[in-house]
Structure 1
Amino acid sequence: MQKEESVRLELKTNAHITSIAKTITAFINTQGGDMLIGVEDNKKIVGVENAAKVRDRIQQQLIEGIKPNAPISSQVITYKNKELILISVWEGANKPYQYKGQIFTRENDRTKLSDQDILKELISERKAADFHWERRAVLGATLDDLDKQEIKKTINHYQVYNSEKTFVDEEDFLIQTGLLQNGHFTNACIVLFAKSPTRFIPQSKIRVTVYPSDTIGDSFLNDRIFDGNVFSNISGVLSFLDVTFGKNIVIDGVVRKEKHNYPLLALREGLLNAMVHRDYNSVNGFLQISIFSDRTEIANYGGLPDGITLSDLSKEHNSILRNPDLAKICFIRKYIEMLGSGTLRMINDCRKNKFKKPSWKQKNNITTVIFPDLKATLKNSEGVNEGVSEGVNGELNTVFNDQSEGVKRELINIYSIIKKNPDLKAKDIANLIDKGLSTAERYLKKLKDEDFIEYIGSSKTGGYHIKK
């Protein structure tokens, strides 16, 4: 509502299907875009009566009428006590798209029939897309290499999205969605559905590492590789993060509720953005989630597409897809809920749940999203506290017999951390035990005074070690 109509934005007063379909087709053939129905050109809000029913009818007619099939997202939004319909689409990967045999494109804020020159350009873009990494053939892969259950789940979702669409079997579905071409499965198909995609595409794995300090080092608290398909990896990584960051029980009135110690939606969006936008073409490509003592980072190989800057990620921006075939299936599976607004949802989720908002950086073709202060602590980081030997444990208990059970437990935990990760500083240990720096330093002094640990090196480069 703050923007004027443009190549990517159209305001409509009425839900006239033909006019809507022409503009949506033009969006798909140009840069993608958004249409808001129930608003006059002068920005006066008039709303849409029976908006939910109208939205369902429009969605179905757009899906049936626009060819080839493209992901179309629509929702009803209440604004100033009026119901509006928002329709969003990506720029298409299979141009030219047509509605009732006609091809439309967008020029500034106008929708127009394409002429011969534009048609040639759209066909040229289509040919270039067919040579994209996603659509290259994977030689040697067979249907037995794919997870048929995941394909069946996707078919079920597809038929909810488009009830008119039918598929004879899994193979027919892959053919109709372009994931099986000329008898060969595509790279996108393997990443999405293979039982062991790294057998064919080694760079498709995801690594998650929990570090004890605020820098990358040789020691770590936990390190996992996820080498399944997209859906297996999403489930596995989110479960890992759930254990690592943990949950708290909060009382809301008389009801006990679980509250995540991290912005669940924001991290989920960050993970999906990285998976969909990463550059799989390079064998050096990677997706790395690093959890430090003061932040969490999600880094993926693949810079921002031309036309998008780092500052654009904090506001409404074009959604230029590096891997449209992956994105389309993730959209059908409802992993991507709205088109082109993932970074905004990340910011809003962090703000809503009182976490610091994420930031982005780009260097050497690597895009990284950073969540400040999102850290693992000793009490919820899987595999951090493995305890100490029975002899040392007994000696610690004996020496600190006059201390409370809580203090003794913290001293044993700190000893265990230093034993597994030598050279940590007091601030790193404070973060890991989720205590203030002065409290951690007090515990460290107790261990140091009794000759269990020692500080080796300078104040800047040194750290704590177990004393021999």
Structure 2
Amino acid sequence: MTKDELSKLLYLGENQTIEFKVKAELRVVGSNVCAFLNTRGGYVVCGIEDDTTIIGIESAEVAKDKLERGLMQHILPTSLISVEIQGVEDKQIIVVEVPAGKDIPYSFKNDIYIREDAHTQKADVETIRDMVLRKQVEPERWERRFSDQADVEDLSKPELKKLFESRRFSQEVISDNHGDLLHSLQLVSLAKYGRLTNAADILFAKTPAQRHPQARVRAVCYNKKSDDDYQDIQHMDGPLVVVLEKLLQFIERNTPTKAHFSSESAQREETALYPTRAIREGLVNAFAHRDYANFSGGIKVEVSPEKVEIWNSGAFPEGINERALEAGHISILRNPDIAHILYLLLYMEKLGRGSVLIREACKRHGIPAPQWHSDVNTGVTLTFFAPEVTEQVTPQATPQATPQATPQATPQATPQATPQVIKLLQVLTNEMDRQQIQLALGLKARKNLRLTYLAPALDSGFIEMTQPDSPKSPTQKYRLTPLGKAVKSGKTS
């Protein structure tokens, strides 16, 4: 497998800087992460040799957690760095995604590293002096400025507790600070000199809109945009994650559900019209990347029968466009402190590859590809399109408005199953991996299993993966869907 092929497989984007390492050792990975932060960002992929031979990482989950804690402890100032496990060729590797840093110079264990051509090396005195001078002349980010009149008493204790109890938040930090809230927040750049920053206010204040009107979020639902009356309208204020979850609930209760009939009973089974993970990722991106300095800006969600639109103020950063979103890219963070907290709270994973996750989730869910539109004057809009109505859908009850009548439509015909797929459905019980299925079918060639049995069954919706977001995971298994169970029992028409 070539470097380009591996990059495409891992959704790392085109022409990115990638460093391959055999082991996930902090000593080696840390210096490269530091160098990427001080330059243009990049990826460190552990478990792969320089010639792209994949050897994998043993006990990958343990190695990942240890590496993640070490990077958080020894990279200063703190920065958002994504560490995740991916499955390739039945092996597990660790991918470390590093955005271009906004607070250079960064250090690893008190040494400053940079990239020179394709190599990582310690920075010399002249380079460090240049970094410091550049930092001094750059304007301070809005999220780093002091929040006027905000005090620790204004912060939500339950939301702060979630941060400090997160498995990604260093427990060593908590124990060292002996309950000193401001010092703990200072270590993640949410406070300095005993004062809270705007980022702390936006993230954890009970009513941040009192000080920052642009923090208020608006959500509307309408049948037609020209209608005088909205079916549902909400103005939300509060800690960022609380508002994000309220927005997700707003979208879910104001969008239809797809109805299916279970093969095991006469009861209908309903699933969301839009993939929840894609909607959540879209909302997270809006909060992480919006322009908070624009006092006329904000976030707005519009729900209609045809689509869901998520708008945020602030255009794409320079170098990012719709094509880059399709391929994956090194994340360019407008608000790295806010994004870092979302990562610690387990809301952000893939950074620059979140757009790929959204597209893949929509594809698996059977809805049209989402579209992004960026305008320097108006901001960024992400649009999810509803599928054409080919089956019965039922709007969820909306407390604020009278539900619309349920649209009636003709259900889709059950896809035809080939003899090979029928045989697969008959042997598939509970959850089985490829080796178990291959043995049950009496097949010798894995390629035959994949092309003739698994692929058509997945495409027709008869079976599903237990880990759909990691299709190449070595622990991947398969199970029957309700449709597959119905075909297996002969209850479909």
RMSD: 2.8
Equivalent position SS for 2:254: helix
- Comparing 109-118 with 267-276, greater Cα deviation is found at 109-118
Once the two structures are superposed, what CA deviation does each residue of 1:25-61 show, in whole Å capped at 9, x if it has no partner? Answer: 1112222222112222232222223333333333333
What pairs with 1:39-50 in structure 2 (closer than 5 Å)? 39-50=48-59
2 CA distance for matches of 1:102 and 1:252? 60
- Aligned partner of 1:434: which letter? P
Equivalent position SS for 1:341: helix
2 CA distance for matches of 1:383 and 1:163? 42
What pairs with 1:292-371 in structure 2 (closer than 5 Å)? 292-363=304-375, 364-371=377-384
In 1, are the aligned partners of 2:74 and 2:108 still within 8 Å (CA)?
Answer: yes
Once the two structures are superposed, what CA deviation does each residue of 1:392-450 show, in whole Å capped at 9, x if it has no partner? Answer: xxxxxxxxxxxxxxxxxxxxx67xxxxxxxxxxxxxxxxxx53469xxxxxxxxxxxxx
In 1, are the aligned partners of 2:257 and 2:395 still within 8 Å (CA)?
Answer: no
2 CA distance for matches of 1:65 and 1:176? 12
Look up the match of 1:72: 81
What pairs with 1:145-184 in structure 2 (closer than 5 Å)? 145-157=154-166, 160-166=168-174, 167=177, 168-184=179-195
- Taking a change above 3 Å as real, the CA distance of residues 150 and 144 of structure 1, as seen in their structure-2 partners, is same
Once the two structures are superposed, what CA deviation does each residue of 1:4-27 show, in whole Å capped at 9, x if it has no partner? Answer: 796631122334442222111111
Once the two structures are superposed, what CA deviation does each residue of 1:372-391 show, in whole Å capped at 9, x if it has no partner? Answer: 2269987336268649xxxx
In 2, are the aligned partners of 1:205 and 1:227 still within 8 Å (CA)?
Answer: yes
- Taking a change above 3 Å as real, the CA distance of residues 382 and 38 of structure 1, as seen in their structure-2 partners, is same
Look up the match of 2:91: 82
- Taking a change above 3 Å as real, the CA distance of residues 78 and 307 of structure 1, as seen in their structure-2 partners, is same
Equivalent position SS for 2:4: coil
2 CA distance for matches of 1:78 and 1:379? 38
Equivalent position SS for 1:164: helix
2 CA distance for matches of 1:139 and 1:283? 15
Matched, 1:212 2:228: no
Which 5+ residue runs of structure 1 have no aligned equivalent? 388-412, 415-432, 438-468
- Taking a change above 3 Å as real, the CA distance of residues 161 and 250 of structure 1, as seen in their structure-2 partners, is farther
Equivalent position SS for 2:31: helix
2:407 maps to which of 434, 438, 441: 434
In 2, are the aligned partners of 1:152 and 1:170 still within 8 Å (CA)?
Answer: no
- Taking a change above 3 Å as real, the CA distance of residues 386 and 77 of structure 1, as seen in their structure-2 partners, is closer
1 CA distance for matches of 2:259 and 2:394? 18
- Aligned partner of 1:236: which letter? K
Which 5+ residue runs of structure 2 have no aligned equivalent? 8-13, 411-493
Alpha-carbon distance, 1:128 to partner: 5.5
1:243 maps to which of 242, 249, 253: 253
1:114 maps to which of 111, 114, 123: 123
- Taking a change above 3 Å as real, the CA distance of residues 301 and 185 of structure 1, as seen in their structure-2 partners, is same
In 2, are the aligned partners of 1:317 and 1:340 still within 8 Å (CA)?
Answer: yes
Look up the match of 1:402: none
1 CA distance for matches of 2:359 and 2:297? 26
2 CA distance for matches of 1:17 and 1:181? 28
- Taking a change above 3 Å as real, the CA distance of residues 61 and 286 of structure 1, as seen in their structure-2 partners, is closer
Alpha-carbon distance, 1:346 to partner: 0.5
Larger radius of gyration: 1
Once the two structures are superposed, what CA deviation does each residue of 1:254-300 show, in whole Å capped at 9, x if it has no partner? Answer: 49865222110111111111111111111111211111232111111
What pairs with 1:120-159 in structure 2 (closer than 5 Å)? 120-127=129-136, 131-157=140-166
2 CA distance for matches of 1:143 and 1:19? 39
Look up the match of 2:209: 198
Matched, 1:380 2:396: yes
Look up the match of 2:415: none
In 2, are the aligned partners of 1:102 and 1:113 still within 8 Å (CA)?
Answer: yes
Alpha-carbon distance, 1:341 to partner: 1.6
- Taking a change above 3 Å as real, the CA distance of residues 267 and 148 of structure 1, as seen in their structure-2 partners, is same
In 2, are the aligned partners of 1:291 and 1:375 still within 8 Å (CA)?
Answer: no
Look up the match of 1:233: 243
Query: TM-score scaled by structure 2?
Result: 0.72
Look up the match of 2:451: none
- Taking a change above 3 Å as real, the CA distance of residues 250 and 177 of structure 1, as seen in their structure-2 partners, is same
In 1, are the aligned partners of 2:17 and 2:42 still within 8 Å (CA)?
Answer: yes
- Aligned partner of 2:4: which letter? Q
- Taking a change above 3 Å as real, the CA distance of residues 253 and 97 of structure 1, as seen in their structure-2 partners, is farther
1:224 maps to which of 234, 237, 241: 234
Look up the match of 1:394: none
The number of aligned residues is 392
What pairs with 1:94-105 in structure 2 (closer than 5 Å)? 94-105=103-114
Considering Cα pairs closer than 8 Å and 6+ residues apart, tell me whether 1 or 2 has the greater RCO: 2
Alpha-carbon distance, 1:230 to partner: 0.2
Once the two structures are superposed, what CA deviation does each residue of 1:341-396 show, in whole Å capped at 9, x if it has no partner? Answer: 21111111111111111111122241111112269987336268649xxxxxxxxx
1:289 maps to which of 295, 301, 307: 301
Look up the match of 1:272: 284
- Aligned partner of 1:170: which letter? L
Alpha-carbon distance, 1:86 to partner: 1.3
Look up the match of 1:423: none
2 CA distance for matches of 1:385 and 1:170? 42
- Aligned partner of 1:186: which letter? T
2 CA distance for matches of 1:85 and 1:339? 15
- Taking a change above 3 Å as real, the CA distance of residues 11 and 120 of structure 1, as seen in their structure-2 partners, is same
- Aligned partner of 1:369: which letter? L
Equivalent position SS for 1:218: coil
1 CA distance for matches of 2:359 and 2:235? 27
1 CA distance for matches of 2:150 and 2:336? 22
Query: TM-score scaled by structure 1?
Result: 0.76
2 CA distance for matches of 1:202 and 1:374? 36
Identity across aligned pairs (percent)?
29
